[in-house]
């Protein structure tokens, strides 16, 4: 029986994780975010109504499901409250079932200013961040100068710490980047009135998850971004600022790794990437344009168009290896409808050799040439199909080949944006509910 399930993106993010979390939490008691910040964008479509969540876990749309934000998540307080108020406007009460760890680092205005200044200074070598202060906030955490949610409840000490860290960063902003300093008093005055509203929502997330486990309750751990953006194992330096692998679920919430029972990797039927960095299977032809237009490939957080390409089985094998995936969920199969042929990258040519695992680092990956296996496409419409046997024969062959190449079963197939446009062949919460 699986009680604790990790769901993560197996590519460069934007795989449709939010929809799958929302779907599977029909059998979960809580959903926990464990890394990233409001650079995530999880889009949910339920009954034709679209909701985009950035910080609040995707279990928010399920009444009675606890929503937990672990210590590995960096929090922009204003963004958090904005999401809460937006859910309230939809008659979704979240505050009484939302808990944030006291150890969550706080994103502050100077983090955003630094993020934007650095990207501007890099010019063509910019990483392609969302400009929301995520990286600088994580830097402060590692440098042990960051402010955390728990610090808010000692107003005097918080003010002292804030002044010290802002003096440090304003020096860099003014002297090195030639930008304006961020006003200390304005920053302090914007935060302190929010403390009392936050107070009931801040607690010990580690203890909450431990107690849920002890009472045989089920927790879904919701990853943000994707494994190939992991700060250690992704296409460094074109990566996010946190660990996106499955093991981060334990560190980012405060539980032991043996408490994680099942890891589900979410993968599109093709591949996309936002921002800079190498992308071996990227398409610059009409097929790439087809995938982008038909798949509505624009970032939920930034609105930026996503780069599109064929499915990359080589990169997926790295995710399987690093995150210990137990199964796959394939999304957006319907976007492939109508293509004459479909392709899967099965190996790379790298320095005259054939390799089946991607090399570490962006420079090495940028030197790789994809080798493809071509399969016949399908003309039939898969959009909205909810029975596996009703899928076109060639679509089933395509899914079967993905499973064979990665060495994992495909337990879930998604054929549309709606919650119910999904085939759950095997539920990760085994024997639950």
Cis omega (within 30 of 0) for bond into 237: yes
Distance CA 217, CA 356 (A): 39
Distance CA 98, CA 168 (A): 33
The verdict on whether 42 is a catalytic residue reads yes
The verdict on whether 151 is a catalytic residue reads no
Answer yes or no: are the C-beta atoms of 226 and 9 closer than 8 Å. Answer: yes
Q: Is 82 exposed, middle or buried (0-12, 13-18, 19+ CB in 10 A)?
A: middle
Distance CA 221, CA 253 (A): 9
Answer yes or no: are the C-beta atoms of 337 and 298 closer than 8 Å. Answer: no
Distances (CA, A) of 5 to 30, 348, 366, 382: 11, 32, 34, 28
Query: Residue 192 carries which DSSP code?
Result: G
Answer yes or no: are the C-beta atoms of 225 and 244 closer than 8 Å. Answer: yes
Distance CA 234, CA 227 (A): 6
Strand ranges inside 83-129, DSSP E: 98-101
Answer yes or no: are the C-beta atoms of 152 and 195 closer than 8 Å. Answer: yes
Answer yes or no: are the C-beta atoms of 219 and 36 closer than 8 Å. Answer: no
Answer yes or no: are the C-beta atoms of 32 and 223 closer than 8 Å. Answer: no
Q: Is 406 exposed, middle or buried (0-12, 13-18, 19+ CB in 10 A)?
A: buried
Q: Where are the alpha helices (DSSP H) in 234-361?
A: 248-251, 286-294, 313-323
Q: Which of 22, 29, 38, 42 is catalytic?
A: 42
149: helix, strand or coil: helix
Pairing of strands 30-33, 66-69: parallel
Distance CA 325, CA 174 (A): 46
Distance CA 402, CA 268 (A): 11
Distances (CA, A) of 3 to 240, 274, 379, 414: 29, 33, 40, 23
Query: Which residues are identified as catalytic?
Result: 14, 42
């Amino acid at each position: 029986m699986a009680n604790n399930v990790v769901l993560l993106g197996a590519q460069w993010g934007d795989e449709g994780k939010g929809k799958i979390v929302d779907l599977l939490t029909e059998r979960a008691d809580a959903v926990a975010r464990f890394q990233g910040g409001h650079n995530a964008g999880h889009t949910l479509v339920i009954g034709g109504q679209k909701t985009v969540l950035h910080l609040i876990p995707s279990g928010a749309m399920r009444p009675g499901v606890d929503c937990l934000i672990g210590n590995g998540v960096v929090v922009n307080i204003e963004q958090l409250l904005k999401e809460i108020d937006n859910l309230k406007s939809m008659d979704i009460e979240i505050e009484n079932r939302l808990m944030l760890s006291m150890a969550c680092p706080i994103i502050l205005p100077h983090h955003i200013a630094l993020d934007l200044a650095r990207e501007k200074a890099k010019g063509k070598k910019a990483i392609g961040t969302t400009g929301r202060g995520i990286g600088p906030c994580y830097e402060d955490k590692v440098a042990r100068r960051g402010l955390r949610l728990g610090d808010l409840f000692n107003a005097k000490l918080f003010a002292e710490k804030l002044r010290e860290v802002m003096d440090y960063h304003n020096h860099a902003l003014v002297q090195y980047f030639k930008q304006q300093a961020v006003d200390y008093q304005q920053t302090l005055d914007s935060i302190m009135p929010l403390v009392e509203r936050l107070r009931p929502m801040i607690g010990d997330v580690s203890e909450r998850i431990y107690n849920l486990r002890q009472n045989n309750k089920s927790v879904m751990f919701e990853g943000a971004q994707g494994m190939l953006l992991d700060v250690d194992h992704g296409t460094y330096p074109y990566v996010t600022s946190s660990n996106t692998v499955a093991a981060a679920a334990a560190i980012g919430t405060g539980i032991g790794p043996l408490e994680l029972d099942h890891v589900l990797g979410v993968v599109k039927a093709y591949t996309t990437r936002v921002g800079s960095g190498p992308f071996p299977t990227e398409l610059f032809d009409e097929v790439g344009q087809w995938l982008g237009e038909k798949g509505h490939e624009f970032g939920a957080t930034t609105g930026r168009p996503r780069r599109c390409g064929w499915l990359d089985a080589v990169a997926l094998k790295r995710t399987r290896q690093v995150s210990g995936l137990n199964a796959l969920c394939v999304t957006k199969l319907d976007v492939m409808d109508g293509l004459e042929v479909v392709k899967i990258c099965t190996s790379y040519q790298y320095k005259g050799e054939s390799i089946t695992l991607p090399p570490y680092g962006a420079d090495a990956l940028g030197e790789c040439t994809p080798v493809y296996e071509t399969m016949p496409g399908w003309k039939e419409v898969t959009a909205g199909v909810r029975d596996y046997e009703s899928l076109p024969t060639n679509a089933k062959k395509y899914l079967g080949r993905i499973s064979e190449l990665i060495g994992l079963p495909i337990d879930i197939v998604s054929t549309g944006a709606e919650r119910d446009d999904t085939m759950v062949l095997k539920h990760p919460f085994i024997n639950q509910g």
